[in-house]
Every structure is written in C-alpha cells, then in structure tokens.
Amino acid sequence: MTDLFARHSALLNDAVQALKSRGFWSPFPETPSGKIYGETARADGEAGFAALLDQPFVLPGHPGTAQVGAEVSPFGPALGITYPAADPAALIAAAQAAAPAFAAAGPEARVGALIEALQRLNRISFLIGTATMHTTGQAFAMAFQAGGPHAQDRGLEAVAMAWDEITRFAASARWEKPQGKAAPLVLEKHWTLVPAGLSLVIGCNTFPTWNTYPGLFASLATGNPVIVKPHPAAILPLALTVRVLREVFAEAGLPADAVLLAADTAEAPVTQGLATDPAVRLIDFTGSSAFGDWLRRTATQARLFTEETGVNTVTIAASPDFAGMCDNLAFSLALYSGQMCSAPQTIFVPGSGIETDQGHKSFDAVAQGLAEAIDRLLADPARAAGVAGALANPATLDRLQAARASGRVIRDSAALGAGRSASPLVLAVAAGEAAAEEECFGPVAFVVACGDAEEGISRAAALARDKGAITAALYDTDEARIGRAIGAFAAAGVNLSINLTGNIFVNQSAAFSDFHVTGANPAGNACLTDTAFVAPRFHRVMWRRQIAT
C-alpha cells in the first residue's frame, strides 16, 4: 500500500517546503489550456458532463437505499442527476466499519493514496470545472480554476500540513536516564497516532470543492473516515471527488467506505442527524453564522472548524493611483457577482473626500469613479458574463432588491445575460447604517461616508472584530497611518491588503502562501491551512516498557 507514497514522495516534499517558504508554488496548472491538459480536454470534459445528466450517478459499493437529486444550473437547465442516498445511521455504520483498517494502514499509505487521488482529480479538471459551473453559476474559467486546480492545491496543502505535523516527532525512542553509580533506567517508548474519529465535511453552494477539500483531505490524511455532505444544489463536483477517492482507496487496499457521500435535498436534509451523532468527532462547515451557531450549541461532541458570515471592508483614505484603484475594486466587486467569502462589501470613504494622483476627489466623485469602473468592466457582454457568471441562489436576487432601500443608488444593478444574473448595486450610505454593517451576500456594495480616514480605519477594524471579516483592504499614501492600520486590523484578526492595483485582487487567496481566514474573528474559527487545522484531528498515545540493562 506504500507504493503510491514512494511514487509521490518528491511532490510531497516539495509541498512541505512550499508550506514553510510561503512563496508562489503550485503543482496544478490553473490555465484551462489544451496545451497543458490535452487538445481535446475541454470537449472531453463537456462530453463527460453531458453523459452524467438525467440518470443515476454511479458510486460502486456505496451505501444507499434510494436515489436523490434536484440540482438546477443557475444558467437554466435541470441536471436530472440522482445520487445514492442512505440515512445517517447507515452512513455512520459504514464509516465506523471502515475506521479500524483505515487507521491501521498508516500515514504513508493514506498520504500516497490521497496525492494519487489529487493527481487524478487534476486530470479531470475540465469535467469538474463544467460541473462546478453548472452547480454554482461561476463562469467557466473561474469554475475550472476554483473547482479544479486551486481546490486541488488546497487539498494538497492540507495533506502536506498533516504529514508535517504527523512526522514532527519520533515514532519511537530509547529513553535512558543515568542513575549515578547504579545502572541507568532504560525504557523503550512508542507513540501511536490515534485518529480523532469520524469526520463530517459540510459543503457550500458557491465553492463546493475549494471550501471542502481542506477539511476532507486533512481528516483523511490523519486517519479519520469522512462523510462528505454537499449542499443539495451543488452535489456533482463532490460526488466526482468522492468517486475518485473511493476508486483510489480500493486500488490501494484501503477501505472505500473511508469516504462517503451524504446526498440529500433541501426538503429532506440529513445534516443535523449526522452532525449530532456521537460518533462524529470532527465537523468542517462553510456557511451562515446562523447554522454555525446551531452547530456550536448542538453538536457539542465534535471539534468544529468553521468559515462563516462576515463583513469585508475597504477603507479609502487616499489613493496613489485612482484609476487603478477603481478598476481593481470594480473587478473585485463584480467577480462571481460578489458571491465570494472574500469579496469586499462595505467601503469607507471620508465624507470630505480624498487626495489622489488626480487631485482631490469628493466623496461622490470616489463613489462615481467606482461605478464608472464597473460600467467599463462590464460594457462588453461576453466579458461581463465571464467575470460575473450567474447567481447560485435565487434568494440573492431578493436580498439585492431589499438592499436597494438602504441608501442612495450610485449604480443600479441589471441583468447581464444568460441565466440568473445581476451586476453590482452600489449604494451611498451614512456611517452607522445598519445594512452596511451586516453581510449582504451577493453583488451589493455600500460606500459609507465617515468623518475622516482614521474613523474609516477604526470602523472597518471594529466590524472585523465584532461581526467578522475574511478580508480587509486599505488605500492610503500616509505611511504612518498605514502602519497604524496594520496594527488595528491585526488586532481585529483580519488579513489586510494595501493599495492593490493591476491583476491581484483582495478576493484571491493562494494556497501554500496565504492563510485563508485567521480564526481570530467571528468569520471563522479555523485557518486554511495551519497546524491548528490539522493537529486536533489525531492524538499521540504512548506505550512504554522497561529494558533490562
């Protein structure tokens, strides 16, 4: 079972080194190019997706007494795919049955199989990208990257972090304590790695693989069987993932039921039954703070890792490149119609305006500059569709309509093209407006008039501390004030980006370099991916005995 480990050991070593150096590194090319993935890769991916439609999804040997599925593409058609469904007790029983052999196989066998699975997932990135597109509403280029290579990077990152933590200490030791003239005390000591227990990974609608892979691969690497619970609107990308993992496990002599799919529907959910089962000891969750609170109150037997609701801010104190700033923020606001956990929402601007490379800009001129940059970005329909994609959930449109009453409309929203779509709504509001201080998930931005730049920084940091935030951005030319802002946002537990222009955006988070979420504010209690994310998933248990001398 260790043959796969030997095959992939060089890649694993490179991944561990990348974790420590934090520079750019990725083994999975992000460009959907036929020169990289094969000239027919895109057509093969589309054909593979079409072949899955309107029929049962095959998961050989998977528990199931029924078929469920009601996915509808945000671009229009129903997928018609059904998946094997089992009640929570059956899934728990299957995972428990797999647990002893999966733990006994050892880290090398598990890690080798997981890296092999990531390699195979990479080879079907066009299929997974197409599946992600038609379950999330992401435009294809983004669906390919986020659903495929970028998610695979995050999965490998978790495996590498787990491996580094597992192998941090010796597995055995000879312990010899001198006793003066008497014979020394000698013990042989051995440490067994004991998995924490069954793991439940609860996926989200918008980024089914990217948000799921870290917990999935971290738990599997540390020996915990995983039940994957997709969002009922985005099952297919994770069903494909589970199928590949089960195939590799079976080939490697590992129990296939170490990874299971918990498919359900919105009308008959199974999440709560799984989450509260005493056998489930680990839960990874991405979603609303309301359900996160329910898990904290109710699933008390499990260690919980969350990414939740937050209010991401931008503070514009001054700008050394006004046009570049507006273009950068326009893309950040429009990308995937604001349906990213890292997308900016609440933008603080001094009511008296700011200084820029183009001279003084009033508050209204700053807001209008952002609106005009969005208009330029989305002027070409093809580019607009490629940037904004479609809305994953119809409730996002309702949320957008309700937000319109919260302030003065600077730029109104409009449909963009195929499917359920909406361009960014930009509103001007006064400081303290309640709507700007709560997450309004989707293409909505609030430009908030504050007293001055210091107040804007203070308000943005307070929102991160009190309501949670995954990202914060600052535009400024005053180095002393920038230094104070760095301290304020660090104390609030949120990552800060300063003066971004060009093709790097606050929304982006790079595996092996950026720690996604800090775990230090209400937007999440876990960080992707640090040692604290993997270490609680296993325990070291010692046995020792005395050696005669």
Asked if 232 and 546 count as a contact pair (C-beta separation under 8 A), the reply is: no
Q: Which residue has the higher pLDDT, 416 or 333?
A: 333
- Tokens 């995954």 sit on residue: 470
**CA distances in angstroms from 168 to 94, 164, 273, 540, listed in the order given:** 31, 6, 36, 11
Residues 6+ positions from 117 with CB-CB distance below 8 Å:
244, 245, 248
Q: Could you give the CA distance from residue 519 to residue 527 in angstroms, rounded to a whole number?
A: 5
In degrees and rounded to multiples of 5, residue 353 shows phi and psi of 95, -175
In angstroms, the CA 338 to CA 196 distance is 36
Instruction: Give the pLDDT mean for 218-222.
Output: 98
Q: Within 13 A of 436's CA, how many CA atoms are on the CB side?
A: 27
Residue 237 has pLDDT above 70, yes or no: yes
Q: Considering the domain delimited by 43-309, tell me its CATH architecture.
A: 3-Layer(aba) Sandwich (3.40)
- Between the alpha carbon of residue 211 and those of residues 94, 110, 286, 358, 516, the distances in Å are 25, 21, 7, 40, 10
Tokens, residue 375? 């208009």
Are 506 and 330 in contact by the 8 Å Cβ rule? The answer is no
d(CA 133, CA 152): 17
pLDDT tier for residue 9 given thresholds of 50, 70 and 90 = very high
CATH 3.40.309.10 fits 313-498, yes or no: yes
Token pair recorded at residue 165: 């933590």
Domain ranges of the chain: 43-309, 313-498
Average pLDDT over residues 145-151: 98
Mean pLDDT, residues 437-441 taken together: 96
Question: Would the pTM of this model clear 0.85, i.e. be above it?
Answer: yes
Partners of residue 174 on adjacent β-strands: 188
Q: How confident is the model at residue 419 (pLDDT cuts 50, 70, 90)?
A: confident
Position 130 pLDDT exceeds 80: yes
Residue with tokens 């052999």: 101
Q: Which residue has the tokens 């490149």?
A: 321
Do 11 and 163 meet the contact criterion of CB atoms below 8 Å apart?
A: no
Q: What percent of the chain has pLDDT over 90?
A: 98
Do 391 and 74 touch, CB atoms closer than 8 A?
Answer: yes
Mean pLDDT, range 405-433, rounded to an integer: 94
Separation between Cα atoms, residue 377 and residue 461, nearest integer Å: 29
Tokens of 474: 């600052």
- Look at residues 326, 543, 317, 344 and name the one whose alpha carbon lies nearest to residue 443: 344
pLDDT tens digits along 334-367:
999 999 999 999 999 999 999 999 999 999 999 9
Whole-angstrom distance, CA of residue 36 vs CA of residue 499: 34
Report residue 194 as tokens.
Answer: 């004991």
Given this model, what pLDDT does residue 1 score? 55
Query: What value does the mean pLDDT of the chain take?
Result: 97
Listed in sequence order, the DSSP H helices in 362-405 are 363-377, 381-388, 394-403
In the prediction, which pLDDT does 126 show? 98
pLDDT tens-digit map of 496-536: 999 999 999 999 999 999 999 999 999 999 999 999 999 99
Q: How confident is the model at residue 417 (pLDDT cuts 50, 70, 90)?
A: confident
Percent of all residues in the chain with a pLDDT value above 70, rounded to a whole number: 100
Using CA atoms, how far residue 14 sits from 18, 27, 156, 160, 306, in Å, is 6, 9, 11, 9, 28
Strand order in the sheet with 172-179: 172-179, 182-195, 538-546
Buried b (16+ CB within 10 A) or exposed e, 135-150: bbbbbbbbbbbbbbbb
Question: If residue 533 lies in a helix (H) or strand (E), which one and from where to where?
Answer: helix 531-534
Q: Integer distance in angstroms from the first to the last C-alpha of the chain? A: 38
In this predicted structure, what is the pLDDT of residue 52?
98
Pick from 365, 334, 338, 341: nearest CA to 352: 365
- Residue environment code for 308-328, b if the CB has 16+ CB neighbours within 10 A, otherwise e: bbbbbbbbbbbbebbebbbbb
**Amino acid making up residue 458:** S
As a whole number, mean pLDDT of residues 457-470 equals: 98
Residues in the chain: 549
Cis omega (within 30 of 0) for bond into 192: no
Section 46-62 average pLDDT: 97
Of 271, 268, 163, the residue nearest 221 (C-alpha) = 163
- Give the torsion sign (CA, 92, 95, 99, 101): positive
E strand spans, 265-421: 280-286, 303-307, 313-316, 346-350, 354-356, 359-361, 408-411
The rounded distance, in Å, linking the Cα atoms of 153 and 148 is 9
* The pLDDT of residue 238: 98
Q: Is 468 left (phi over 0), alpha (psi -120 to 50) or beta?
A: left
- The pLDDT-based confidence of 549 (bands split at 50, 70, 90) is confident
SS (H, E, C) 18-68: HHHHCCCCCCCCCCCCHHHHCCCHHHHHHHHHHHHCCCECCCCCCCCCEEE
**Residue 2, pLDDT score:** 63
Looking at residue 523, its pLDDT comes to 97
Which residue, among 79, 439, 437, 112, has the nearest Cα to 252 in the 3D structure? 112
